[in-house]
Amino acid sequence: MAMQPTKKKRLASLPQDLIELILVRLPVSDLLRCCGVCKQWDGIIRDPQFTMAHLRRARPRPLLFFQRGRASGKSFPSEAVLFDEAWSPSTRDVPVIDPDDFLCASCNGLVCLYSSNSTIKIANLATGESMHLAKPVKYATEYQSSFYSFGFSPATNEYKIVHFLPGQKLHPAGGSFSVIQVYTLGDDKWRDVRTLEVVSLYCVKQSGVVNVDGAMYWLTHDKESNWRRAVISFDLRDECLEIIRLPKVDFADPAFANPFCYWITEIDSKVSVAAVQARRDSVLARKLHIWTLDNKVEKSWTQKYSIELPALSVLGPHFIYEDKIIMHSRNGGIYCHELTSQRFTIDDTKLVKLLDSSPRSYENTQSYMCVKSLVRLDAYKKAGMVRTRKRKEGWKLKKWEAWEHDRSKIEELWRSGHRIQQRMHEMAHVIGAAISLNLPAPPDQDSPHRRLNWVRVTDMLESHVDSLDAPWKVLVQAADAFSSETKKMIPAADQAKQRNEEESEAGPSRPKRKRKPSSRFDSSTWTT
């Protein structure tokens, strides 16, 4: 009988192209584990062509970034939440975010992060790999995260960082710029690229930058357009700029004022521009217009959506993902709604709440498109200006430890408060009192929202402790009344028995009780 082939031989007998077709359909987390199966699989997964083939199949997911800030007198770190295909949020999928980072851009699974106290960082969210780059020599001292962007050129297979350099005599928060600094990943220096004309820096800060098909796009001022904006295209291959005029649109709706807010975004891999109008009779009600650039050469535009919004705002610049639009309220709630047609009104009853980000300000919340990819940074670490961090800096590690320690203490107080509330409810049920306590149960140990919302828990617990006074007084009064009623309900016989027992313990002055003789002895046998 012929010997059966071993498992190793059976795997080796599969054609490599068939193995590639199987592996390319796996998620990144599984592929990272498959690298250790054998050398053949490791070589396939590490191949740049396989990486790009896997990247083309990946579906972008919403990535929300919450900048560091303060609330209720306490500081909290930067945090990011990534949604999966089922729209379930997770903070564990973005471990490369440090407490003082600002997110500048996302491209092909790589994110560009900036911190005022460190270098620029490029990191892969899926693999956790990161590299640090020296900042350009000429850079402003404020608002740096708004002035960087990061993109990819398919024509040259290059990743580039763009820095919008503010004019030296202008405040960096506004004004204009005429020089763009460009760095290609793997090079040893930044390069200056002059613009055709002075470009609005305010529009870049307020409206954002998108990277579509090897070019970056942002908005600038344009007095000739009724949008009051124009689009600037920066080709990452040739590093040349071009102005694209927006279509002529009639915003003369008597119920709405002129557009007051603009964003540049990406919808279905196309550059899109959004404008918001507010109702004249209600500032909270708004209309959102979205136009898409169909042909860059002919500069032709098509209106994609016209949506009436309730008292919610969109999360610019990336607020539309496939068939959903993401919005936020001023109280910290983040919602999504189906895109039912090109013209429709948001139905409040059909809003789906994704998460609660309070007390983090909605003004400091950013949205991006992100994919999980295998893009490696090894090829770019040979450049002289690249500094790879081997371990987390001590000051950042201490900050994380301090925040985690504070959060764990707050969660323990929360659990203790919830246990006390349960005991009070049990006591109220026994004595027949009616109290109202609504402290929610603390999150599970592995809940994705533990690090996102823990700052506002302090205020909630303080408010809950203050509200315990009234229920406690009700319990005390009900307990006293319950004790009095219980005493009245004791039978008279039991009271007499209790008195006799008390008298028996009083001493010899108590009259002796006659004892009945035993049936075994006659009374004559008793002796004194």
173-203 confidence digits (pLDDT tens):
456 667 888 999 888 888 888 877 767 777 7
Q: Let me know if 376 is exposed, middle or buried by CB neighbors in 10 A (0-12, 13-18, 19+).
A: middle
Q: Which of 242 and 491 is assigned the larger pLDDT?
A: 242
Report the pLDDT value the prediction gives residue 153, as an integer from 0 to 100.
92
Q: Which of 126-135, 320-329, 334-343, 404-413 has the lowest mean pLDDT?
A: 404-413
Specify the pLDDT at position 526.
32
Q: pLDDT digit string (tens) for 233-244? A: 899 999 888 888
Query: Residue 292: which pLDDT band, with cuts at 50, 70 and 90?
Result: very high
- Rounded distance, CA 415 to CA 417, Å? 5
Q: What is the pLDDT of residue 454?
A: 57
**Whether the bond into 166 is cis, omega within 30 of 0:** no
pLDDT in tens, 403-430: 666 767 777 777 787 788 788 888 877 7
Q: What is the mean pLDDT of residues 375-396?
A: 58
Segment holding 343, helix H or strand E: strand 343-345
Helix (H) / strand (E) containing 406 = helix 394-431
Would you place residue 138 in the very low, low, confident or very high pLDDT band (cuts 50, 70, 90)? low
pLDDT score of 121 more than 60: yes
Count of alpha carbons within 13 Å of 289, Cβ hemisphere only? 22
| Per-residue pLDDT at 486 | 62
Residue 229 zone, left/alpha/beta (φ > 0; ψ -120 to 50; rest): beta
Alpha-carbon gap, residue 277 to 226, rounded angstroms:
13
Segments in 47-166 forming alpha helices (H): 48-57
Q: Does the N-terminal peptide bond of residue 77 adopt cis geometry, omega within 30 degrees of 0?
A: no
Residue intervals in the chain for CATH 2.120.10.80:
60-394
Structure-block tokens of residue 263: 């964003």
For residue 18, pLDDT beyond 50? yes
User: Superfamily for 60-394?
Assistant: Kelch-type beta propeller (2.120.10.80)
Contacts 24+ apart (CB under 8 A), 216-221: 216/149, 216/151, 216/162, 217/264, 217/271, 218/264, 219/262, 219/264, 219/273
Q: Which segment of 4-18, 155-169, 212-226 scores lowest on mean pLDDT?
A: 4-18
Give 235's strand partners. Answer: 215
Q: Mean pLDDT across the chain, nearest whole number?
A: 75
pTM above 0.85, yes or no: no
Mean pLDDT of 365-374: 86
Task: Tell me how crowded residue 444 is: count the other CB atoms within 10 A of its CB.
Answer: 9
**pLDDT at residue 511, as a whole number:** 47
Q: Give residue 400's pLDDT band: very low, low, confident or very high (50, 70, 90).
A: low
72, pLDDT greater than 70: no
Q: Which of 94, 157, 96, 95 is nearest to 132 (CA)?
A: 96
- Which distant-in-sequence residues (6+ apart) come within 8 Å of 61 by Cβ? 82, 83, 84, 85, 321, 369, 370, 371
Judge whether 192 and 177 are in contact, CB under 8 Å. no
Pick the residue with more confidence: 462 or 513?
462
Asked if the model's pLDDT at residue 322 lies above 60, the reply is: yes
pLDDT band at 392; cut points 50, 70, 90: very low
Beta carbons of 217 and 209 less than 8 angstroms apart: yes
Q: Letter for the amino acid at 323?
A: D
What radius of gyration, in Å, describes the C-alpha atoms of the chain? 35
Mention every residue, 6+ apart, whose C-beta is less than 8 A from residue 361.
69, 71
Q: Please give the residue that has the higher pLDDT: either 307 or 283.
A: 307
CB hemisphere CA count around 319 (13 angstroms): 30
Pick from 177, 175, 174: which is nearest to 165 by CA? 177
pLDDT at residue 472, as a whole number? 76
Q: What is the pLDDT of residues 297-309, one digit of tens each?
A: 888 899 888 888 8
Can you give the pLDDT at residue 489? 57
Rounded-to-integer distance, Cα 117 and Cα 428, Å:
55
**Given this model, what pLDDT does residue 146 score?**
64
- Amino acid found at 290: I
